Amino acid sequence: MLARMEISVESLRRAAALGGFAWTDAELEAIRPAVQRLLESLEQLEHLPLGDVEPTTQYRVL
Amino acid sequence: MADLGRMIATKQVSPVEVVRVHLDRIAALDPKLRAFITVCADAALESGRAAEADLMAGKAVGPLHGVPWAPKDLYSTKGIRTTGGSKILADSVPSDDATVVARLARAGAILLGKLNMHEFAYGPEGVNAHYGDTRNPWSAEAHRIAGGSSSGSGVAVAAGLAPGSLGSDTGGSIRIPASLCGITGLKPTYGRVSRAGGLPLAWSMDHVGPMARSARDCALMLGAIAGYDPADPTTSVLPVPDYGAALTGDVRGLRVGLLRAHFTDVAAADVRAAVEAAAKRLEQAGAVVDEVNLTQVTHVATASAAIVASEALAYHAPWMRSRPQDYQPDVRERLRVGAFVNGAHYVRSQQIRAFLTREIDEVLARRDVLLAPATPLAAPVLGERETMLGDGPSDVRAALLRCTRPFNFSGHPACAAPCGFTAGGLPIGLQVVGRPFDEATVLRVVDAYQRLTDWHTRRPAAA
């Protein structure tokens, strides 16, 4: 998975470009550690035994 | 607010004089505290004169008639700029009031101005590069943060610049500044109060709520703003109860769960002691207290960050493409991180959300409320990056959010209120969490605690 590898500025640049964002290498380098940490944490969520819990799509509207 | 409203209604004080006193305090103290972005002195005095005229004409008035207040500057105010604490919206003047602003105006409350905040509500520190960093009034020497994102609201109420405020709370932005500034702040149930006319941070986690000096004042404000609003599709049609009538002072027989792991047990030692003492005080008053843990709560930080980052970037994407340089640096970086959260991450995070919500519901099926620290630490010094909690060093930002955002995630109502002071004289905040749409019981517990203690009556020397 993406989070297992060291994330490079190059990979961030390509992903950001897909979203329509043209950020400089310096700007991407500044957020690279935070992105790395978040993606590694998100990867851990994949291993939780959530079974068939449906995602929240409605917020207690009564 | 309740006391002021009563004194105004019985003509013991003039609403004009009440407004003038607050404007004088703002003029004297705000250059240092930086709570206000905009002060509406002339309009407030004009409203005060109109309120007085109504009284003298014998018109029926409500409990907030003539009482001043000030909202966080992300609620639209007709004809008054609404900046969101940003440079981007520095000259934005809405043509309508947010629903909550209109409802408080209908109740007779008088708007003093608009309050400082973390830019676009995206940060728990409450700092602002465009309008100045708010200063916690409890710290005379060091510049300590007020907590955010509703930092101006926390400071204004604590320093007596406004008796009440409306904050917004996406990860703790009402309860964190309430905790750090020694005031009372309520995040109602998701759907209890309309968000229409407020700038969003993350639509599925944003809550609107009152910040004031006591549970009684919060009850008064909540009664005025709560209820269905066709302009906000998430608002509930459930009737709004009389929150003031719920404040009986009686907690006998109420079942109270003290949240241990992740919450009380990891708080700084003085915070932990104060929260445990608060639980003991409620037990002495007749509540039945036990201890409880939430098994999935450790995953909230990640899942919540993914949801907020995605939703926030969805809102800000056009400006992040056209004028990213106009954001303050920390907010710009948080928004950029959102570009790397994908759809599968978002949905997985929503699964965690459903799981945790169910777990909290089950815990609350056997209890009336839960107790926890509002923040596991007292106000840090501006710029402090790391703090020591009970389980070791922690990033300050993560620590500030730790105890509050599980209940943004789940939507349960939660109220922060003062429960003590550190040895250095900084406020400590207790958090009371209740069942969905049972703000009445949450406020009842906080009010009962405030009848038993005087923490909420203390004022910073600077004020």
pLDDT tens for B361-397 read 999 999 999 999 999 999 999 999 999 998 889 999 9
For residue B244, count CB atoms less than 10 angstroms from its CB and return exposed for 0-12, middle for 13-18, buried for 19 or more.
middle
Q: Is A15 on the interface with B (CB under 8 A)?
A: yes
Asked if pLDDT for residue A37 goes beyond 90, the answer is yes
Q: How far apart are CA B336 and CA A28, in angstroms?
A: 9
How confident is the model over A30-49, as a mean pLDDT?
A: 94
A41–B302 C-beta distance less than 8 A: yes
How confident is the model over B210-220, as a mean pLDDT?
A: 98
The mean of the pLDDT values for chain B is 97
Q: How far apart are CA B319 and CA B336, in angstroms?
A: 12
How confident is the model over B433-451, as a mean pLDDT?
A: 98
Quote ipTM for the complex.
0.91
How confident is the model over B20-27, as a mean pLDDT?
A: 98
Nearest CA in chain A to B314: A19
How confident is the model over B240-265, as a mean pLDDT?
A: 98
- pLDDT at position A1 is 45
- Choose among B235, B320, B357: nearest Cβ to A56: B357
A56–B305 C-beta distance less than 8 A: no
Interface of A with B in 20-49 (CB under 8 A): 20-23, 27, 30-31, 34-35, 38-39, 41-42, 44-46, 48
- pLDDT at position B60 is 81
Interface of B with A in 141-200 (CB under 8 A): 189-191
- pLDDT at position A51 is 81
Phi, psi of B193 (to 5 degrees): -125, 135
Q: How far apart are CA B428 and CA B442, in angstroms?
A: 18
Contacts (Cβ under 8 Å, ≥6 apart) of B112? B19, B22, B23, B26, B39, B40, B44, B68, B69, B70, B161, B162
Confirm whether B194 is a catalytic residue. Answer: no
Asked if pLDDT for residue B102 goes beyond 60, the answer is yes
CA max distance for chain B: 63
B411–A59 C-beta distance less than 8 A: yes
For residue B139, give both structure tokens. Answer: 């710290």
Nearest CA in chain A to B299: A45
For residue B45, give both structure tokens. Answer: 């005095």
Nearest to B349 by CA among B397, B309, B317: B309
- pLDDT at position B144 is 97
Q: What is the pLDDT of residues B320-350, one digit of tens each?
A: 999 999 999 999 999 999 999 999 999 999 9
Q: Domain boundaries in chain A? A: 2-45
Asked if pLDDT for residue B112 goes beyond 70, the answer is yes
Asked if pLDDT for residue B314 goes beyond 60, the answer is yes
Asked if pLDDT for residue B201 goes beyond 60, the answer is yes
| Residue B173 and residue B128 in contact, taking contact as beta carbons nearer than 8 Å | no
- A23 CB neighbours in chain B (<8 A) are 324, 336
B351–A61 C-beta distance less than 8 A: no
- B203 CB neighbours in chain A (<8 A) are none
Q: How many CB atoms lie within 10 A of CB B444?
A: 26
How confident is the model over B104-119, as a mean pLDDT?
A: 98
Q: Kindly report the nearest CA distance between residue A43 and chain B, in angstroms.
A: 8
- Choose among A22, A30, A42: nearest Cβ to B333: A30
Q: What is the pLDDT of residues B342-360, one digit of tens each?
A: 999 999 999 999 999 999 9
* B101 vs A58, higher pLDDT: B101
Q: Kindly report the nearest CA distance between residue B237 and chain A, in angstroms.
A: 6
- Choose among B237, B301, B340: nearest Cβ to A62: B237
| Chain A to chain B Cβ contacts (< 8 Å) | 99
Q: Kindly report the nearest CA distance between residue B279 and chain A, in angstroms.
A: 29
- Three-state DSSP at B276 gives helix
How confident is the model over B218-237, as a mean pLDDT?
A: 96
Confirm whether B149 is a catalytic residue. Answer: yes
- Choose among B299, B340, B358: nearest Cβ to A12: B340
Q: How many CB atoms lie within 10 A of CB A40?
A: 15
How confident is the model over B151-175, as a mean pLDDT?
A: 98
For residue B127, give both structure tokens. Answer: 């700092």
B354–A56 C-beta distance less than 8 A: yes
The mean-pLDDT minimum among A41-50, B183-192, B260-269, B447-456 falls in A41-50
| Residue B456 exposure: Cα atoms within 13 Å on the Cβ side | 25
- pLDDT at position A3 is 45
Strands B207-212 and B164-169: antiparallel
Q: Kindly report the nearest CA distance between residue A6 and chain B, in angstroms.
A: 14
Nearest CA in chain A to B353: A56
Q: How many CB atoms lie within 10 A of CB B173?
A: 38
pLDDT band at A49 (very low <50, low <70, confident <90, very high): confident
Q: Kindly report the nearest CA distance between residue A21 and chain B, in angstroms.
A: 6
| Residue B202 and residue B312 in contact, taking contact as beta carbons nearer than 8 Å | yes
> Can you list the domains of chain B with their CATH numbers?
2-457 (3.90.1300.10)
Check: pTM over 0.90? Answer yes or no. Answer: yes
Interface of B with A in 323-342 (CB under 8 A): 324, 333, 336-337, 339-341
The percent of residues in chain B predicted with pLDDT above 90, rounded, is: 97
| Residue B386 and residue B395 in contact, taking contact as beta carbons nearer than 8 Å | yes
A61–B341 C-beta distance less than 8 A: no
